[in-house]
């Protein structure tokens, strides 16, 4: 294969949030909350099986567009999402992401796993891993400041 051929990669990121699972789940499932930590006011999101999601941002490389589809939503437990990432209109990665939510000592363990097809030129796995790591850190800050928290039923 030449260097312009596609290749496949996978990575997993894990975070332990001090917030209850309902609070972390809400940050992923409610458009306004997700838009806040994602940094995408224009986020379009239909959080339902078969529903679509679209967001974009601009940086020194140009216009980045993410388009996705939700394939499975298991309330409070798992999200399976496929998405593509394009720069200036050219798709360079297509991914399947699985996000797991688990109770962990009063908080929540979030496990994000992404399997991807990289179509060079692309920042590839390193770019997605760096981007998602920064986004999950942004989620940490959002959860700490979110005053509209779900209440646990005692």
Eight-state DSSP code of residue 15: E
Which residues share a beta bridge with 94? 84, 117
CATH fourth-level superfamily of 7-145: START domain (3.30.530.20)
pLDDT of the residue at 61? 86
How do the residues of the chain divide into helix, strand and coil, expressed in percent and rounded to 5?
A: 25, 45, 30
pLDDT of the residue at 150? 57
pLDDT above 50: residue 152: no
* pLDDT digits 0-9 by tens, 9-21: 999 999 999 999 9
pLDDT of the residue at 153? 40
User: Binning pLDDT at 50, 70 and 90, where does residue 31 land?
Assistant: very high
Counting residues of the chain whose pLDDT is more than 90, the rounded percentage is: 79
76-to-8, 109, 136 alpha-carbon distances in Å: 29, 12, 17
pLDDT of the residue at 100? 98
The HSE-up count of residue 11 (CA atoms within 13 Å, CB side) is 14
pLDDT of the residue at 98? 98
Contact 149, 142 (CB under 8 A): no
> What residue spans define the domains of the chain?
7-145
pLDDT above 70: residue 151: no
pLDDT of the residue at 154? 36
pLDDT of the residue at 124? 82
The larger pLDDT score, comparing residue 125 to residue 96, is at 96
């Amino acid at each position: 294969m030449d260097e312009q051929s596609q290749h496949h990669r996978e990575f997993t990121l894990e975070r332990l949030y001090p917030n209850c699972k309902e609070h972390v789940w809400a940050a992923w499932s409610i458009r306004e909350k997700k838009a806040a930590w994602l940094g995408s006011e224009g986020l379009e999101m239909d959080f339902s099986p078969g529903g679509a999601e679209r967001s974009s941002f601009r940086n020194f490389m140009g216009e980045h567009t993410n388009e996705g589809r939700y394939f499975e939503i298991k309330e409070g437990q798992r999200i399976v999402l496929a998405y593509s990432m394009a720069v200036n209109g050219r798709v360079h990665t297509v991914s399947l992401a699985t996000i797991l939510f688990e109770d962990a000592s009063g908080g929540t363990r979030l496990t994000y796993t992404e399997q991807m097809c990289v179509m060079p030129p692309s920042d590839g796995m390193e770019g997605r891993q760096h981007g998602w790591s920064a986004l999950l850190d942004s989620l940490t800050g959002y959860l700490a400041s979110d005053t509209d928290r779900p209440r646990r039923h005692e």
